[in-house]
Amino acid sequence: MHMNMVEKLPAFWRDRIQACAIHLVISLAIAALSALLVFGVWYPYPYREISGGRELFLLLVTVDVILGPLITLTVFDRAKLWRELRRDLMVVAAVQLAALGYGLWTVSVARPVHLVFEIDRFRIVHAIDVMPDLLDKTPPGVQALPLTGPTLLSVRDFKDTQEQMDMTLAALQGVPLGTRPDLWQPYVHAVPKILKVAKPVSALKQRFPDQIAPIDAVAQSAGRSAQSLLFLPMNGRKSFWTVFLDPVTAEVVGFLPLDSF
């Protein structure tokens, strides 16, 4: 509402609107800081697209940012004793912060924690996917549920035929290999195997001729030539993407929303 229009309102409504506006500015500032945490740390690209963090966060924060100032608009009244008004505003702030905290907790539980090479593909592993009873089997040097963003890991070789059978049966029952801490190992240990199973991007172009431009764009954004790169498919939460790799180090250099399985 324009400032001149606000000044023409009765003092009762003018005070409420001003209090609501101040509350809205504070709420937006807190939401912006929360967005930096969510999109800058927990859900960097492409995970915000693949893992659904953007939609969930925006829904929760939008409701929180709108409802808080609206409640202030309802309860603010200078006719109240200062003690009562302060109590009301503190209750509103507490409820809003609690809702924001719950929203951030919900987003954190669903956050991606690892990008794991799994036999012949990559799998995004989310915090909620990791079995709690296996956390104590996380290998030394690997952080099971990092709060600083997804890390690269790989699945180790099976110890014997019996373990292979057990793990394969568990995977068929809904526990993918990449979500098991007892199978994790540093990404670098699997580089030879990754380079062996990865395919040249030229084969991807032949298979998807209508995707040549997007493929070249991903390579260009990484400062690479598409013809020099390798690729592997990737399992996301609800979709399949393609991961582009350096042909020497197996470094992940780019992603494309393309099902290359």
Domain ranges of the chain: 3-109, 113-188, 198-261
Burial of 27 (0-12, 13-18, 19+ CB in 10 A): buried
Question: 145 or 53: which carries more pLDDT confidence?
Answer: 145
Question: 133 or 13: which carries more pLDDT confidence?
Answer: 133
The two structure tokens encoding residue 107: 């987003």
Of the CA atoms within 13 Å of residue 175, those in its CB half-sphere come to: 15
Distance CA 183, CA 137 (A): 9
What is the rounded average pLDDT of the residues 109-123?
A: 94
Q: What is the pLDDT of residue 72?
A: 80
Distance CA 112, CA 89 (A): 36
Question: 8 or 204: which carries more pLDDT confidence?
Answer: 204
Q: What is the pLDDT of residue 140?
A: 92
Q: What is the pLDDT of residue 1?
A: 46
pLDDT digits (tens, 9 = 90+) for 201-226: 999 999 999 999 999 999 999 899 88
Would you say residue 117 has pLDDT above 80? yes
The answer to whether 232 touches 250, Cβ cutoff 8 Å, is: no
Q: What is the pLDDT of residue 16?
A: 77
The two structure tokens encoding residue 216: 């070249």
Q: In Å, how far are 14, 60, 88, 94 from 91, measured between CA atoms?
A: 22, 19, 5, 5
Helices (H) and strands (E) in the chain, counts: 9, 8
Q: What is the pLDDT of residue 11?
A: 60
The two structure tokens encoding residue 191: 């580089």
Question: 92 or 125: which carries more pLDDT confidence?
Answer: 125
The answer to whether 233 touches 261, Cβ cutoff 8 Å, is: yes
Candidates 259, 236, 221, 244; CA nearest to 48 is 236
Q: Residue 10: pLDDT band by 50, 70, 90 thresholds?
A: low
pLDDT digits (tens, 9 = 90+) for 75-88: 777 777 788 878 88
Q: What is the pLDDT of residue 4?
A: 53
The two structure tokens encoding residue 69: 């100032």
Residue where the block lists tokens 């089997």: 137
Give 112's strand partners.
Answer: 126
Q: What is the pLDDT of residue 6?
A: 44
Give 251's strand partners.
Answer: none
